[in-house]
Amino acid sequence: MGAGFLPLVGVMAVVTLMIYFIMVRPVRQRERQHDQMVDLLEKGDKVITASGMYGQVEGIYEDSIVIKVESGAMVRMTKGGIVKRQDEPRRY
């Protein structure tokens, strides 16, 4: 009974490692890159939001960012709402 159980544990371990390296690790790397990009933002940087708005950073706070959009309106949003800087190349 013990000999039949051991290969099953080995297969489960291999599948778990595959799931980690195929699904979990890339997501964590993207999150880390996004957090680093947001941490490096400065006043005056041009950004694109998750909703597709283009704006310029006017203020950076602990958990939010204020951007000025083309109409002149100031929009306060969470840091997670910033997708990328306008000068960054697209990554596909």
Please tell me the predicted confidence (pLDDT) of residue 88: 66
- For the segment 8-12, the average pLDDT, to the nearest whole number, is 91
Query: Is the pLDDT assigned to residue 90 strictly greater than 80?
Result: no
- The model carries a pTM of 0.70
Average of pLDDT values for 5-20? 90
| pLDDT tens digit sequence for 52-78 | 999 999 999 999 999 999 999 999 999
> pLDDT value at position 91?
61
pLDDT of 18 strictly over 70:
yes
3-state secondary structure of 80: helix
The confidence score (pLDDT) of residue 44 equals 95
Question: CB atoms < 10 A from the CB of 69, how many?
Answer: 13
Q: Tell whether the torsion through CA atoms of 63, 75, 42 and 30 is positive or negative.
A: positive
